[in-house]
Amino acid sequence: MRFLHTADLHIGKKLGEIPLLEDQRYILRQISGIASEKKCDAVLIAGDIYQNTAPSADAMEVFGDFLSALYGKGIAVIAISGNHDSDQRVAYMSGLVRNSGIYMSDKFSGSLQEIMIDGHEEISFWLLPFIRPVNVRRFFPDLQIDSYSDAVRTVIDNSGVDPERINVILAHQFVTGSSVSESEELTVGGIDNVDPSVFDGFDYAALGHLHRPQRAGKEHIRYSGSPLKYSISEAGDIKSCVVIDVRGKGDVCIETVPLNPLHDVRNIRGMLNEIMQMPYSQDYVRVELNDEDVPPDARISIASVFPNMVRYAVVNSKTSVETDVDMADEIQNKSVLELFCDFYSAQNNGVMPDEKHMKIMREVLEETGGVANETD
């Protein structure tokens, strides 16, 4: 069996104030084409289908078109909810669409959900939507579940996974030791670590949650990464999807396939006259201007060459000040931790909270079932 692994679509997200729906529609068509060209039997989506728990009608239309395209090509879809998703909305009508080969994770009920695709019953796909320890404790009140590793391991150990079968898991968690982008540093990597050993019993672990494509400790435990660059810090990243050939128990071949976006995300720097001579581009850019004396209308002039300027900075011997160009991330796109950092900084003359404060906030959000793990 051959399947394609992607994740963190974040349909409906904006880069600054710029809507990315057309970019997302474009890249999803590309993924659909790759799945068809590579003769994949299924596409796995490891969470964060949408940017918000209440996606717009336009965002839902983009995802619906993606599913329709795959259905038209005879390619099955298996998807789980991530921390940005509403698990109930993702699960809505899951029983009905399953008849069309589209398998959406149900609301978490204490164990993994097993899926077998017609014609490939030798492989079990196990669905683990995003969970926190508090979600698991209610199903196992007699067990000691203190960490995210405890929570995930408990769920797996109590789901009846047959080690003799070929097993593939979809999960949306932060695996210890994984590399995060700048936009994720405040929101993952604290108390939410999951040890990679929890996935040792699976032939492949299709992970979501982090935006950089990477393996997580072992070759068969892998983040596909997001299909688009969702922050300036990802400008140097190469986005891709993963195509996996399962030839038998323990026999898995992995191929990464690069993705080409409608608009790239780039860093531009130089003197004003140099920047003004660069080719016109609708890429999403951060512009760093190095002139010693900056004309008051420099930002407007640069926008005529780079209309999708997300950030603008003046960096010279006199100053090093970066300002957003009327395109700062909206509050609705920020996690609770990011909003806390903004508030703390405003109350403390620009000083950011230290790790002690961040740990307290993560623990509070964990105990209250909050959103400590939201990422961009």
- Which string of DSSP letters, residue by residue, matches 229-294? --SGGGTT---EEEEEEEEETTEEEEEEEE---SS-EEEEEE-HHHHHTSPP--SEEEEEE--SS-
Same domain, residue pair 194 and 314? no
Same domain, residue pair 36 and 148? yes
CB–CB of 16/327 below 8 Å?
A: yes
Residue 194 maps to a domain: yes
- Two tokens at 269? 């720097």
Same domain, residue pair 206 and 316? no
Residue 37 maps to a domain: yes
Distance CA 368, CA 357 (A): 17
Least confident of 20-24, 106-110, 345-349: 345-349
Q: What is the pLDDT of residue 132?
A: 92
pTM above 0.75, yes or no: yes
Q: What is the pLDDT of residue 38?
A: 97
Q: Summarize the confidence of residues 321-344 as an average pLDDT.
A: 59
Same domain, residue pair 9 and 32? yes
Q: What is the pLDDT of residue 375?
A: 44
Q: What backbone phi and psi angles, to 5 degrees, belong to 310?
A: -90, -35
Distance CA 258, CA 34 (A): 10
Distance CA 14, CA 20 (A): 5
Residue 163 maps to a domain: yes
Same domain, residue pair 127 and 239? yes
- Two tokens at 239? 């986005």
Residue 368 maps to a domain: no
Same domain, residue pair 91 and 221? yes
Q: What is the pLDDT of residue 143?
A: 95
* CA torsion through residues 146, 150, 155, 159, sign: negative
Residue range of the domain that includes 25? 2-258
Number of domains making up the chain? 2
Q: Which residue has the higher pLDDT, 361 or 292?
A: 292
The residue with tokens 């909270």 is 353
Residue 228 maps to a domain: yes
Q: What is the DSSP letter of 247?
A: E
Residue 349 maps to a domain: no
Distance CA 376, CA 172 (A): 14
Same domain, residue pair 167 and 101? yes
* 358: Cα separation from own chain's centroid: 22
Residue 20 scores a pLDDT above 60: yes
Q: Summarize the confidence of residues 54-71 as an average pLDDT.
A: 95
Same domain, residue pair 294 and 168? no
CB–CB of 11/64 below 8 Å?
A: no
Same domain, residue pair 21 and 132? yes
Residue 223 maps to a domain: yes
CB–CB of 193/149 below 8 Å?
A: yes
DSSP string, 70-111: HHHTT-EEEEE--TTS-HHHHHTTHHHHGGGTEEEPPPP-SS
How long is the chain?
Answer: 376
Same domain, residue pair 236 and 284? no
Distance CA 117, CA 142 (A): 35
* Domain final position from 241, 258, 275: 258
The residue with tokens 């071949």 is 253
* Domain final position from 237, 258, 279: 258
Q: What is the pLDDT of residue 316?
A: 86
Same domain, residue pair 162 and 190? yes
* Domain final position from 324, 344, 365: 324
Same domain, residue pair 304 and 223? no
Rg, the chain, Cα only: 22
Residue 348 maps to a domain: no
CATH classification at residue 83: 3.60.21.10
